[in-house]
């Protein structure tokens, strides 16, 4: 059968179809009323959620859903949220005994502060309650049993550096902790005496001096801390016959160093009266009658009652003066100034004044003595009668130092 070829426009018109995409008019110029093919697939509306054909597809996450937070990984070299540190790390810390320790990181948490090993420095480094255990002390008088005997008096060089802390000092306060390294000395008195103890040598550390009777653990009879402006301790007092121990200690655990201890002592009847220790310059009065005739001087009387007084001088040059010139009395008096130990009421006579007459600066019969003394030093002032016969009576002595 022969084929009939129709032109394309005629073929399209005959089929009743045409392209109408994007609003293009039908090629035949006629409106396309169209009709729905009952077999065609219905396209869902835009707001209907897929899937339609693939019921097994995974649902999508909502747009505002955040991904879960990644947990911290201990040991990855980074300190992350919830971790204190990275395992294997370390840092300095203060131990319970106030030494410099170290704490280490384990499982990303800081461990306890570990103390350092003992280093033989007079401090309990490892916080075990012991000081310098296992260390051979280079300080011969580090322990009470090795206390150096200073009974003869004089100067004794020493150090607390390298010594252990054996006992608390006598001056515990807000400014002075129980102490650090300490060393020990001892002396024995055959009778009642005035004792003088002083630390010299200008240490750059704050020292404390403690005096105990009968042993290192005996009752405290003397204590000194910061007696002078250079923070050096010194102590003077009257002690009965017996044996005594002296501890040189640091105010705080980090106070230690070298020093020179001076020890002097002198018997002086009457100084058992605590008022004979002069705490400061001033005017002191009493009645000399009844004190006893115990001491002699180069300018005083032989049969007169005498009154002893004593005090300690700090380092430096001092003008020491004693006078009864203005006390209004007229019985003949004498005054003597003595220093150091070794003799009755002092070892060396520094100045002496008998009764003065005919001087405008002093009432007749009274006395005035002055001396320049370099401290630290033990100083005695002795009020006595003067001239022949026995003389005593009320007095007021002005003492400056």
pLDDT at residue number 165:
86
Spans of the chain, pLDDT less than 50 = 1-25, 27, 52, 55
Question: Which of 304, 310, 301 is closest to 337 using CA atoms?
Answer: 310
Domains 144-266 and 274-400 belong to one CATH topology: yes
What is d(CA 249, CA 355) in angstroms, rounded to the nearest whole number? 47
Q: Which residues contact 381 (CB under 8 A, 6 or more apart)?
A: 278, 308, 309, 310, 320, 322, 335, 336, 337, 338, 397, 399
pLDDT at residue number 159:
93
pLDDT at residue number 210:
95
What is d(CA 243, CA 214) in angstroms, rounded to the nearest whole number? 6
pLDDT at residue number 194:
99
pLDDT at residue number 358:
97
pLDDT at residue number 36:
56
Residue 378 CA, chain-centre distance (Å), reads: 31
Coil vs helix vs strand at 145: helix
pLDDT at residue number 231:
78
pLDDT at residue number 21:
43
Task: Locate 49 and state its tokens.
Answer: 């959620």
Sequence length of the chain is 401
What is d(CA 340, CA 264) in angstroms, rounded to the nearest whole number? 6
pLDDT at residue number 66:
55
Question: Which of 188, 201, 210, 105 is closest to 157 using CA atoms?
Answer: 201
What is d(CA 365, CA 385) in angstroms, rounded to the nearest whole number? 10
Domain layout of the chain by residue ranges:
89-136, 144-266, 274-400
Which residue in the block uniquely carries the two structure tokens 């280490």? 104
Predicted TM-score (pTM) of the model is 0.67
What is d(CA 249, CA 209) in angstroms, rounded to the nearest whole number? 6
pLDDT at residue number 373:
98
pLDDT at residue number 8:
41
pLDDT at residue number 253:
85
pLDDT at residue number 60:
53
CATH code for the structural domain at 274-400: 2.60.120.380
CATH code for the structural domain at 144-266: 2.60.120.380
What is d(CA 192, CA 294) in angstroms, rounded to the nearest whole number? 14
Q: Is omega for the bond preceding 332 within 30 degrees of 0, making it cis?
A: no
pLDDT at residue number 18:
41
pLDDT at residue number 65:
55
Identify any residues that bridge with 322 across adjacent strands, giving them in sequence order. Answer: 369, 399
pLDDT at residue number 69:
65
What is d(CA 281, CA 319) in angstroms, rounded to the nearest whole number? 11
pLDDT at residue number 10:
40
Coil vs helix vs strand at 381: strand
pLDDT at residue number 401:
96
Which residue in the block uniquely carries the two structure tokens 């209004």? 328
Tens of pLDDT, residue by residue over 67-120, are 566 677 888 889 989 899 988 889 999 999 999 999 999 999 999 999 999 887
What is d(CA 185, CA 261) in angstroms, rounded to the nearest whole number? 10
């Amino acid at each position: 059968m022969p084929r009939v070829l129709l032109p394309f426009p005629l073929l399209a018109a005959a089929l009743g179809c045409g392209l109408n995409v994007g609003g293009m008019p039908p090629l035949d110029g006629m409106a396309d009323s169209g009709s729905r093919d009952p077999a065609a697939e219905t396209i869902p509306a835009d707001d209907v959620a897929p899937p339609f054909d693939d019921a097994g597809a995974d649902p999508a996450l909502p747009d505002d859903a955040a991904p879960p937070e990644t947990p911290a990984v201990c040991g990855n070299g980074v300190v992350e949220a919830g971790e204190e540190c990275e395992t294997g790390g370390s840092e300095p810390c203060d131990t319970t005994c106030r030494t410099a320790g170290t704490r280490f990181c384990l499982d990303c948490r800081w461990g306890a502060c570990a103390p350092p090993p003992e280093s033989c420095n007079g401090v309990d480094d490892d916080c075990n309650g012991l000081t310098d255990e296992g260390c051979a002390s280079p300080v011969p008088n580090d322990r009470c049993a090795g206390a150096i005997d200073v009974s003869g008096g004089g100067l004794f060089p020493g150090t607390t550096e390298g010594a252990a802390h054996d006992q608390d000092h006598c001056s515990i306060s807000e400014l002075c902790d129980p102490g650090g390294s300490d060393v020990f000395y001892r002396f024995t008195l055959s009778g009642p005496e005035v004792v003088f103890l002083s630390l010299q040598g200008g240490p750059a550390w704050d020292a404390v001096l403690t005096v105990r009777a009968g042993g290192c653990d005996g009752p405290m009879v003397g204590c000194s801390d910061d007696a002078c402006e250079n923070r050096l301790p010194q102590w003077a007092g009257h002690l009965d016959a017996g044996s005594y121990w002296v501890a040189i200690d640091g105010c705080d655990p980090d106070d230690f160093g070298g020093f020179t201890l001076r020890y002097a002592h002198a018997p002086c009847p009457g100084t058992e009266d605590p008022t004979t220790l002069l705490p400061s310059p001033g005017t002191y009065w009493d009645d000399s009658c009844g004190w006893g005739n115990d001491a002699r001087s180069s300018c005083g009387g032989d049969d007169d009652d005498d009154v002893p007084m004593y005090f300690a001088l700090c380092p430096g040059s001092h003008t020491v003066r004693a006078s009864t010139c203005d006390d209004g009395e007229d019985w003949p008096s004498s005054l003597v100034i003595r220093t150091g130990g070794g003799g009755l009421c002092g070892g060396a006579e520094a100045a002496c004044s008998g009764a003065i007459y005919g001087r405008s600066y002093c009432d007749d019969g009274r006395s005035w003595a002055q001396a320049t003394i370099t401290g630290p030093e033990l100083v005695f002032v002795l009020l006595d009668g003067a001239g022949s016969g026995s003389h005593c009576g009320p007095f007021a002595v002005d003492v400056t130092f």
